Amino acid sequence: MPSNPQILLASRPRGAATVENFRLVVGDTPPLEDGQVLVRHHYLSLDPYMRGRMNEGKSYAASQPLGEVMMGGTVGEVLESRNPRYAPGDKVVGMGGWQEYAVVDANAPGALRKVDGSQVPLSYYLGAVGMPGVTAWYGLTQIIAPRAGETVTVSAATGAVGSAFVALAKARGCRVVGIAGGPEKCRYATEALGFDACIDHRQHGDVKSMSRALKEACPDGIDGHFENVGGTILDAVLLRANAFSRVALCGMIAGYDGAPLPLQNPALMLINRMRVQGFIVSEHMQLWPQALQELAGLVVAGQLHPRESIAQGLASAPAAFIGLLHGQNFGKQLVKLI
């Protein structure tokens, strides 16, 4: 059995998360029991939701236990199998965690999913054709449910969710406006991803300025908003929201590191007769096949152009993750292991 480098959660953050909260160790891969497979991970997924799990206490996901391997999505290849449904060489997506190998009970519901690596690059199953893509799909189709001609907005526009969101929303005939950090990302959003406009939140750091920028980019107001960030951005969106607009609350990364960030004027939800709805995509597994099919189709058709930030080697995962929390990634953040 190969030795297995792993990254554990060593301590919980006080305020901002740092690389010191993680520890690299070398573990073993135990011999396979009946029903299990041994997977060699090719890529780890790094996602903002992991920051919430690093805290103790109430969140939508179970807290990450201290001293255990960081949980997370992985894509890889089966090396050995004692499960009749899997054979060595199969490409699989799972929740293998921050480690080079995983021994997986492949019969557990949702533990592994075989994927076809021939049409879609393997790494995409952690992004555009994986959890982030389905996240965009759910918020857009199940909460925002836009009509053609409506204006929809998304924060963290060039990230894994945002880039899937714009492709899905353009396919439905919407005007799509992104919010991203920095001129390079904003240029990429409009030139490569298909956004009709993109607002640099670093140029519009307060509510008034962001609200003015939204007014200019959304002359007919905002009918739907997909929120990955919260804080100033959400405050400004509410000021430009149309009557009967919808907000899909997916992430509020702006408040992950410290005290809760208030919403300045919640009465706007009433004045605008809005619907604001939080969700977590893993609670809607029955919709994944439908979503993944549309997302894979958009990739194959060249209408969804995900960009990736790839860190090299397991040891780089903590720093890449901290960078992700500060917007230093550009597109889907991955760690390449092989």
What residues make contact with a copy of itself under the rule CB under 8 A? 58-60, 230, 234, 243, 249-252, 255, 260-267, 269-280, 283
Structure tokens given for 98: 């921050």
Strand pairing category for 112-114 and 308-312: unpaired
244: which strand partners?
none
Indicate the residue among 258 and 313 with the shorter CB distance to a copy of itself.
258
Q: What's the min distance (Å) between Cβ of 211 and a copy of itself?
A: 13
> 71 vs 269, which CB is nearer to a copy of itself?
269
For residue 284, the minimal CB distance to a copy of itself (Å) is 10
CA pair distance 64, 69, nearest whole angstrom: 9
Q: Specify the residue, 209 or 277, whose C-beta has the smaller distance to a copy of itself.
A: 277
**CA 44 to CA 310: how far, in whole Å?**
10
User: In whole angstroms, how close is the CB of 60 to a copy of itself at the nearest point?
Assistant: 5
CA atoms within 13 A on the CB side of 157: 33
Residue at 92: amino acid letter = V
Shortest Å, Cβ 106 to a copy of itself? 29
> Closer to a copy of itself at the Cβ: 44 or 237?
237
Three-state DSSP at 63 gives: coil
Smaller CB distance to a copy of itself: residue 87 or 271? 271
What minimum distance in Å lies between the beta carbon of 230 and a copy of itself? 7
The whole-angstrom separation of Cα 146 and Cα 137 is 12
Q: Are 276 and 139 in contact (CB under 8 A)?
A: no
Question: Would you say 60 or 205 has its CB closer to a copy of itself?
Answer: 60
CA–CA gap between residue 246 and residue 144 (Å, rounded): 5
Task: Compute the least distance from the CB of residue 277 to a copy of itself, in Å.
Answer: 5
> Look-up: residue for tokens 């890529």?
43
